Amino acid sequence: MVQTSSIISRAAVRGSASGLLFMAFFGTLWAGTGVMGLQGWGFPYVELAAVFVGITLIIGGISLIRASKRLSNQVSQEDARRWKRIRFWFNITFIAEGLAIGIAIAICNATNFTDLIPAIIALIVGIHFLPLAHLFQLRIYYVTGLLLCLLAIITLLLVPESVTLFEHQIIAPLSIIGFGSALILWTTGLTIWLKAKKMLSLATLT
């Protein structure tokens, strides 16, 4: 059987690791937003669960980076140009996302609609995944982007300002957009992790 380690490059696995770390970090940040909306309900168990999930995925990302060291670091000129092009457009997309979020926050603050900020940020983040899906050729990013956009729209249009949960009042939009976004990003991260582990297992076949 032909060895496949030369087909699966170190850069590809480390790219997956970077994606996993991104999902772990920002998913946990979104979970923090959800915790804020709970206003103390479920403390400290909800917080500990969110931290546990985030740390688990971060460990997964680090393990992928370590495992990638045994793979070939040699890439063809075509692949090198491709990765350079990907990094360029990723940076452009990331900068555009940051500018859009900054402008949205400024407008919401100026118009006294600060309560809309989390959902609008989630909408912008969701939109930014769509070009990334094409850029990285990852279908899961299309699903991630569309789910985040749908979650943001539903939250903006249908979720009441507050609800009572077990006789405890919570800020419903914060909790729903926070935990919903966290779940979407964490699930995306887990999918990336499993796919990368499959790549690594193929790379060890001879």
CA distance 200 to 82: 21
Asked if residue 47 has pLDDT above 80, the reply is yes
Cα distances from 23 to residues 7, 27, 55, 94, 180, in angstroms, run 26, 5, 11, 14, 13
Taking CA 156 as the corner, what is the angle to CA 119 and CA 134, rounded to the nearest 5 degrees?
A: 55
**Looking at residue 198, what is its pLDDT?**
87
- Residue 123: closest CA among 148, 94, 154: 148
**Looking at residue 32, what is its pLDDT?**
97
The backbone region for 3, taken as left when phi is positive above 0, alpha when psi lies in -120 to 50, beta otherwise, is: beta
| % the chain with pLDDT above 70 | 92
Mean pLDDT lowest among 65-69, 79-83, 94-98, 160-164: 79-83
Taking CA 187 as the corner, what is the angle to CA 170 and CA 6, rounded to the nearest 5 degrees?
A: 155
Q: Are strands 163-165 and 168-170 parallel, antiparallel or unpaired?
A: antiparallel
Reported as half-sphere exposure (CB side, CA atoms, 13 A), residue 189 has a value of: 29
Cα distances from 57 to residues 33, 68, 93, 118, 202, in angstroms, run 19, 17, 24, 23, 22
The model's pLDDT over 49-77, given as tens digits with 9 standing for 90+, comes to 999 999 999 999 999 999 888 876 766 67
